[in-house]
Amino acid sequence: MFHCYGYAATSSDTPLAPFSFERRNPGPKDVQIEILYCGVCHSDLHRVRNEWGGTIYPCVPGHEMVGRVTAVGAKVTKYKVGDVAGVGVMVDSCRECANCRDGLEQFCDNGNTETYNSYDKHTGGHTLGGYSSHIVVDEHFVLRIPEGLDLAAVAPLLCAGITTYSPLRRWKVGPGQKVGIVGLGGLGHMGVKIAKALGAHVVLFTTSSSKTEDAERLGAAEVVLSTDGKAMAQQANSFDFILDTVSARHDVAAYLELLRRDGTLTQVGVPVEPQPIHAGTLVAKRRNYAGSAIGGIAETQEMLDFCAKHNIVSDVELISIDQVNEAFERMLRSDVKYRFVIDMKTLKARQ
């Protein structure tokens, strides 16, 4: 074991605070990474505050990490000391079920091991995430970071990037298609960028007219104010695909009616309350309502390479580790464009 520093919550109603703990030494197939940057995902806030239930304390959140390899096990073949590498939402899976064999570890039938708040088969405790100085991960779940990208802005690609890329690829978004993105937040702004790079005509739906200029800068060809009934009606029956990134309660049925025949709306935002949808909305045009999570490891690497080719990174605000509680509060107010990233060298300053 070796000593690490991080920030942890010790209960659902206490702020994140400095925390010392032990990581396992790298095994034969493990990669040890010094974390340089870690993105702040909205799910970190939900998990820390136990809003989804099942949070294990102490909770060290963080699943969007970019860092530098500092040690490798004797059987590691893909990475060497000094490499820049990333770790996303998963750090293990059974690797034996049909989904794992298909490269879809996110759907592991036996349950994948998440980067934090999962059972840790190595220690018998629970996994601790990226708001920390180092992490040790099996090389299969480590991602290669392409050269030439801003590393801080790459970090959110490990969650927000793959969460939007995976459904856009799964439903074969490309040139000649009209694609809607619902919401311009951490997920939505990546959805706009990636859909545009795939060649689609991108329409951004938002409740805030102040986001029009930003949406167009990011690649949207049109911006529709979703509270404007006339503007929404003009978009009816015209979309091949809609990606809904909103986690707050909203009228999903209104967006389903914008799909043309055989169009698909895929949900990646996860509202806490069930969404009321009338079956007739789907039946009328043979519309599809689907959901999607992150991608598997191979697809996540594909996403990183695609983003490097098209010079796509997240729009980020770099913060110090001691600003993370403030960042949580600002996320609740949607006061970020569009992803917070922790500069982990500020953690060293506190050690």
pLDDT tens column, 281-333: 999 999 999 999 999 999 999 999 999 999 999 999 999 999 999 999 999 99
Q: Determine the Cα–Cα distance for residues 150 and 245; give it in Å rounded to an integer.
A: 24
Tokens at 336, concatenated: 């970020």
Tokens at 332, concatenated: 């609740």
The pLDDT of residue 349 is above 80: no
Q: Where are the alpha helices (DSSP H) in 93-181?
A: 98-101, 151-154, 160-170
Mean pLDDT of 135-153: 97
Confidence band, pLDDT 50/70/90 cuts, at residue 351: low
The pLDDT of residue 169 is above 70: yes
Tokens at 333, concatenated: 């107010």
- pLDDT of 74: 97
Q: Which residue has the higher pLDDT, 275 or 150?
A: 150
Which residues share a beta bridge with 65? 38, 87
On average, the pLDDT of the chain sits at: 95
- pLDDT of 54: 94
Which residues share a beta bridge with 265? 242, 289
Confidence band, pLDDT 50/70/90 cuts, at residue 248: confident
Confidence band, pLDDT 50/70/90 cuts, at residue 350: low
Tokens at 26, concatenated: 């790298």
Q: Determine the Cα–Cα distance for residues 298 and 98; give it in Å rounded to an integer.
A: 15
Q: What percent of the chain has pLDDT over 70?
A: 99
The answer to whether residues 29 and 47 touch, using CB atoms and an 8 Å cutoff, is: no
The pLDDT of residue 16 is above 80: yes
pTM: 0.95
Q: What percent of the chain has pLDDT over 90?
A: 91
Taking each helix axis from N to C end, the angle separating 160-170 and 186-197, rounded to the nearest 10 degrees, works out to: 40
Residues 27-40 have pLDDT tens digits of 999 999 999 999 99
| Residue pointed to by tokens 């999607």 | 292
Confidence band, pLDDT 50/70/90 cuts, at residue 334: confident
Which residues share a beta bridge with 23? 2
Tokens at 93, concatenated: 């899976």
Percent helix, strand, coil in the chain, to 5, is 30, 30, 45
Residue 59 CA to its chain's centroid (Å): 19
